[in-house]
Each structure stands twice: as C-alpha cells, then as structure tokens.
C-alpha cells in the first residue's frame, strides 16, 4: 500500500524529526570507511532544509546495548554531514532531555540538529512508549527514511508514530516502490539469484518467490545443502543436515509450479576454509572428500549468465561465494559485472550483496541497490515491516 511522503504534507516552519540510518562502518581510527548510507539520506535531508523546516536528525550507530559507548558517539556523522551539506550541523549530547528541547526551541528555519545515538538508551530497542513520547515532543512531524531499520519495532521507528503524524522519506519511498514492483508486477521473465551461507536464513524468501519467479538461481553456501539433497557428494562443504528434506521439497515445489531451479554446475573448491587455501575448479557438480565448495565455478557462471540473458527483471540477494576471501570473489564479481551491463531491471537486496557490488564499483549501474539487509530480506519474505506499517497511508 502506498504511504504518504514528506512531499505530501506542508512542513514549512515546522519541526521535522527525521529517523535516518547513519549506522555506517567505522575504521580503526573511528573514521567513516563508507558513507553510502549518509549519502542515501541526502535527498530527504535537502528537501526538508529547502522547505524551511527545522530538521532534527536521529539515528543509531553500532550496538552499544543501552549504554553510552564513547567510540559510538555520532560526532563523526555530524562532521561528514557538514561536509556534504555545506552548512552547520549542531550535534547534541543526548536525544531527549532539557538541553535537547532547548536547542530545538532556539533553532531557526532550515537549521540542522543531530541527536546523540538513540541506542545509548535501552528504551529505544524496547520500544518504550514513554521514551518515544519524549522524543516526539521535539517535533511536529515524523519522517522515517531509515529503511534499514524498518523491520524493527523500536521507539524511533514504530513507537513515535503513535504521537506524531508519520510519513516516509524519499529513500523509504524508493525502496518500497522497487520492491513492490518486483514482487507484485515484475516485467517477465523474472529471475532471482539467491546466495549466502545457509538455507535457514532464506527459507521464507524462497517460498515467497517460488510463486513469483520464472527462474531461481542458487549459489553460496546454501547451494551445497540443495546439492546433497539431490544425492550428490559435496565433500566437506557447509551442509545443513536438518534441512535436507526441506531442500528436496523446495526443489520439488519449483518443478511442480514450473520454475527453473538452477544449482551450480561446478565449483571453486578449497582444501581448507582460508584465503591461503589450495584451490581447484571442479569438473562437475560433485566435490571430492577433503575439499569444500567456496564459490561457483566457471561453468556455473556461464550457465547463470545464459539464463539471465533472457530476464527482464533480476532480483539478487546473497553473495555466490566466500567474498571475505579474495580467491573466492570471482563468481560474485562475474555475475555483478554482467548485471551491471544488462538492460533488465536489476535489484540488489542489500546486506552483503550490496557491500560486494559497492566494493566492485558496480552499484551505480544497477537499477536499485537496497540500503536494508534485514529489512529487504523480510520484505522479500512477504512480511509487513513495523516501521512501514506505522506510516500514514495515502
């Protein structure tokens, strides 16, 4: 269902509290190593500033678990925002309290304030209504533009919407439009690529997609459970023994509904789980004892691309190999490079896949790269996200 956006309401002269997802990675020195999430929020930030509202930004950073952690203060985010916006961002020392209320009171139109890390307060993740009400008193309107946190029913994503008119920011609107289109009305043929370590993390995604896709391409560690379920030898590869029956039933369901269920024809294998392991490319789908699958092989890449050539819509969630080790990046990179050149609508479902296409410099050439790993996964499972449900319908 379509949600009201910040563009649908009058915000001039109002106090606008915007929940952003500034949970960026930090390097060893505490500096931002990737500001993608900050940049993703800029269209909404700039719109609110240009509309003459007082902008109050709030986010979490890391996992402080309800305590003040000095290394997780959001000062570094404030500094980066100032550089990107070319204007002063006043960073406050808390997200509630008299000092914060006073700063908001004296702020002028188009000023930008940044509240301290929400998760310094245990009440945030507990969705405590009193905490949500305290934050809500800072503003007249609530804008949620933190898609990456929308699968969490927290005070700043769900609770606050009970006290303020709640609308979507442009990033959340964009995420919803892309995922709803691909799940409800995709241009066909529609192919989905699923990777990652385990079937258990993707069961509901597979079940939801089998009614929607024309082809399902499986890679990553989860492929070995499916291969073993077919009676093939997978050596020492990662296998979820308790999911073999499920894997077989999912493949049967795909056959029953006419979905092409594609497993790797070959693999890059290693004699140990490390970046310095001895490696080989198998001659076929089976893996010898003492070896483990670490990436899809050359024949698998060729087969995947052959199927993807006909696709008009491609959804990709999960790397196809052990991407933390350089020798096992090739399969993910090859598919990423092919899709970056494709004329199909190409959607990357956040998380490790988004990190990979960003690492390869391919992200700008995809139709959409989601900013939400867990949120996009739950959306693909067909679940209602609390942070989205809390927003006003159009």
Whether the Cβ atoms of residue 208 and residue 382 lie closer than 8 Å to each other: yes
DSSP annotation string for 290-320? T-EEEEE-HHHHHHHHHHHTT-SEEEEES-S
| Catalytic residue from among 14, 15, 19, 37 | 37
Annotated catalytic, 37? yes
Q: How far is CA 204 from the centre of its chain?
A: 17
Which residues have CB under 8 Å from 343's CB, separation 6+?
A: none
d(CA 183, CA 315) in angstroms, rounded, equals: 10
Residue 284: other Cβ atoms inside 10 A: 11
Annotated catalytic, 374? yes
| Catalytic residue from among 78, 351, 373, 387 | 351
Structure tokens at 98: 């008299």
d(CA 332, CA 319) in angstroms, rounded, equals: 6
Residue 130: other Cβ atoms inside 10 A: 10
| Strands across the sheet containing 292-296 | 279-281, 267-270, 292-296
Going along 100-165, which residue ranges are E strands?
112-114, 141-144
d(CA 382, CA 189) in angstroms, rounded, equals: 20
Whether the Cβ atoms of residue 373 and residue 352 lie closer than 8 Å to each other: yes
Whether the Cβ atoms of residue 4 and residue 168 lie closer than 8 Å to each other: yes
Annotated catalytic, 65? no
| Catalytic residue from among 198, 253, 312, 392 | 198
Which residues have CB under 8 Å from 347's CB, separation 6+?
A: 178, 179, 182, 313, 314, 315, 316, 366, 367, 368, 370
Structure tokens at 158: 């769900």
Which residues have CB under 8 Å from 120's CB, separation 6+?
A: 64, 66, 67, 68, 69, 72, 94, 95
Which residues does the annotation mark as catalytic?
Answer: 37, 198, 351, 374
């Amino acid at each position: 269902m379509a949600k009201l956006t910040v563009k649908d309401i009058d915000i001039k002269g109002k106090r606008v509290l915007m929940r952003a997802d500034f949970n960026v990675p930090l390097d060893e020195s505490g500096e931002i190593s990737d500001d993608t999430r900050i940049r993703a929020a800029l269209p909404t930030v700039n719109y609110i500033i240009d509309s003459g509202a007082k902008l109050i930004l709030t986010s979490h950073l890391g996992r402080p678990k309800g305590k003040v952690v000095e290394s997780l203060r959001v000062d570094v985010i404030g500094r980066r925002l100032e550089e990107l916006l070319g204007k002063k961002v006043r960073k406050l020392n808390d997200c509630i309290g008299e000092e914060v209320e006073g700063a908001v009171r004296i702020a002028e139109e188009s000023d930008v304030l940044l509240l301290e890390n929400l998760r310094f307060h245990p009440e945030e993740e507990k969705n405590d209504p009193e905490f949500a009400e305290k934050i809500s008193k800072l503003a007249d309107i609530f804008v949620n533009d933190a898609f990456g946190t929308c699968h969490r029913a927290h005070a700043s994503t769900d609770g606050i919407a009970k006290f303020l008119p709640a609308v979507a920011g442009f990033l959340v609107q964009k995420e919803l439009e892309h995922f709803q289109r691909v799940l409800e009305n995709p241009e066909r043929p529609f192919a989905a690529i699923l990777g990652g370590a385990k079937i258990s993390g993707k069961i509901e995604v597979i079940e939801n997609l089998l009614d929607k896709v024309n082809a399902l391409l499986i890679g990553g560690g989860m492929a070995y459970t499916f291969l073993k379920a077919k009676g093939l030898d997978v050596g020492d590869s990662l296998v979820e023994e308790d999911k073999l029956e499920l894997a077989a039933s999912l493949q049967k369901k795909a056959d029953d509904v006419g979905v092409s269920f594609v497993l790797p024809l070959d693999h890059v294998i290693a004699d140990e789980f490390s970046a310095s392991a001895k490696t080989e490319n198998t001659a076929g789908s089976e893996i010898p004892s003492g070896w483990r699958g670490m990436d899809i092989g050359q024949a698998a890449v060729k087969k995947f691309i052959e199927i993807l050539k006909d696709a008009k819509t491609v959804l990709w969630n999960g790397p196809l190999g052990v991407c933390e080790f350089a020798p096992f990046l090739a399969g993910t990179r090859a598919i990423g490079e092919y899709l970056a050149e494709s004329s199909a609508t190409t959607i990357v479902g956040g998380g490790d896949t988004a990190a990979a296409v960003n690492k390869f410099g391919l992200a700008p050439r995809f139709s959409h790269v989601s900013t939400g790993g867990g949120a996009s996964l739950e959306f693909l499972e067909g679940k209602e996200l609390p942070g989205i449900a809390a927003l006003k319908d159009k």
